[in-house]
Amino acid sequence: MRTAHWHEYELIDTSSGERLERWGDILLIRPDPQILWHTERKDPRWREAHARYQRSQSGGGAWQVRRKTPPVWSIRYGELTFRVKPMGFKHTGVFPEQAVNWELAGELIRGAGRPVRVLNLFGYTGAATLACAAAGASVCHVDASRGMVSWARENAQASGLEDRPIRWLVDDCMKFVQREQRRGHRYDGIIMDPPSYGRGPGGEVWKLEEQIYSLVEQCVPILSEKPLFFLLNSYTTGLSAAVMEYLLGVLIQKRFGGRVSSDEIGLPVTDTGLVLPCGSTAVWQA
Ligand SMILES: C[S@@+](CC[C@H](N)C(=O)[O-])C[C@H]1O[C@@H](n2cnc3c(N)ncnc32)[C@H](O)[C@@H]1O
């Protein structure tokens, strides 16, 4: 399993369906359905958490604030700075396990020795976009939500990357890729981290299992003649690492050669030494 190395984020402990996490100086408790074990909560920080996201019976949930919690604060990862905000659906604006993928994309871009154009689909709050921009790539960031795109731009500013060549687009990923084909635009690297279910800005329905093959297939014509990488991440349990690797094998490797690999990604838990799985990533590299 590939794991990230953070200083300002920490997964402290896991027990009875919940994670205890440190985001800078702020302690949060968030639900995680994978945490099936009812281990003893020995760490005193379980009782010191600033806020806890409580699931409701109806399927939604809300933050219960226990200690003064700022509405927004920042954490750093290397040269990047992210604005953290406790939001609906237990979101904070950062998927810390993704740091392994930010590093991989950054290394491939730095090692390319040529200008690199990256497309980041389902870009969310822009962490992967900023990692690629910091490594010197020009990036096209696409997300259906205007709010997420503004948050990503806030992160660009916080990271001192607001002047980098980044195009910020509020669009449906499938429609955008099809339009890029017609416009003849090409990318050397494509990153995507699609949700299991989503909607484009015009209400376009996104269902991962039904559309992922078609979306990756539609991406093939917008890859440059000598593409560098294709990074496909999923935190949906239905889509295993091996399945995603096979997708990239039949669609990308068959056309461009190179190699594919895949692995689970996860977060090390300080108190137990366990690594909590947080999804899988398949990578095609030239
Ligand atoms: C959970 S996030 C992905 C995580 C993110 N890449 C990261 O590592 O931080 C999913 C994103 O996909 C966007 N989205 C969902 N359906 C979409 C669609 N049809 N077209 C474009 N973006 C979509 C959502 O707005 C959301 O920001």
Number of helices (H), then strands (E), in the chain: 7, 17
Rounded CA separation 284/262 (Å):
9
Phi/psi-derived region of residue 24, left when phi > 0, alpha when psi is between -120 and 50, beta in every other case:
left
* In a shared domain, residues 242 and 172: yes
Which residue has the CA at smallest separation from atom 20 of ligand 1? 172
Question: What's 250's DSSP letter?
Answer: I
Tell me the chain's radius of gyration from C-alpha atoms: 19
For 223-234, letters b (16+ CB in 10 Å) and e give beeebbbbbbbb
Strand pairing category for 61-65 and 51-55: antiparallel
CATH number of the domain where residue 81 is located? 2.60.40.1180
**Cα angle at 239 between 237 and 241, to 5 degrees?**
100
| Residue 222 near residue 186, CB atoms below 8 Å | yes
Residues 25-82: tens digit of each pLDDT: 999 999 999 999 999 999 999 999 999 999 988 878 999 999 999 999 999 999 999 9
Are residues 159 and 245 located together in one domain of the fold? Answer: yes
Same domain assignment for residues 150 and 241 = yes
Find the residues whose C-beta lies inside 6 A of ligand 1. Answer: 95, 98, 122-125, 127-128, 142-145, 148, 172-173, 193, 195, 198-200, 204, 206
The residue type at 80: L
Atom of ligand 1 nearest to the CA of 127: 9
- 235 and 186 both lie in a single domain: yes
Residues 104 and 6 in one domain: no
Residue 64 Cα to chain centre, angstroms: 25
Distance from Cα 195 to the centre of ligand 1, integer Å: 6
**Number of domains within the chain:** 2
pLDDT digits (tens, 9 = 90+) for 195-248: 999 999 999 999 999 999 999 999 999 999 999 999 999 987 778 999 999 999
Q: In this structure, are 230 and 148 located in the same domain?
A: yes
Non-local (6+) Cβ contacts of 255 within 8 A are: 220
* Residues 40 and 116 grouped into a single domain: no
Query: What is the C-alpha to C-alpha distance for residues 108 and 55, in angstroms, rounded to an integer?
Result: 40
Q: Ligand 1: which of 77, 80, 124, 149 to mutate, most ligand atoms within 8 Å of CB?
A: 124
Per-residue pLDDT tens over the stretch 87-106: 988 999 999 999 999 999 99
Q: CA triplet 202, 174, 101: central angle to 5 degrees?
A: 115
pTM recorded for the entire structure: 0.96
Residue 80 shares a structural domain with residue 101: no
Residue where one domain finishes, among candidates 51, 72, 90: 90
Residue 90 structure tokens? 């237990």
118 forms bridges with which residues in the sheet? 139, 189
How far apart CA 111 and CA 239 sit, in angstroms, is 30
Rounded Cα–Cα distance for residues 258 and 196 (Å)? 28
Specify whether 74 is located in the same domain as 197.
Answer: no
Task: Residue 261: give the domain boundaries.
Answer: 96-285
Last residue of a domain, one of 63, 90, 117: 90
Q: Which of 73, 90, 107 is the last residue of a domain?
A: 90
And the tokens for 88?
A: 């609906």
In the three-class reduction of DSSP (H, G, I as helix; E, B as strand; rest coil), residue 71 is classed as coil
Angle between helices 127-134 and 99-112 (to 10 degrees): 30
Q: What is the pLDDT of residue 4?
A: 84
Q: How far is the CA of 241 from the centre of ligand 1 (A)?
A: 19
Same domain, 45 and 155: no
Residue with tokens 């590939």: 2
Whether 174 and 241 share a structural domain? yes
Q: Which pair of structure tokens corresponds to residue 232?
A: 């496909």
Atom 1 of ligand 1 has which residue's CA nearest to it?
195
Task: Encode pLDDT of 151-208 as tens digits.
Answer: 999 999 999 999 999 999 999 999 999 999 999 999 999 999 999 999 999 999 999 9
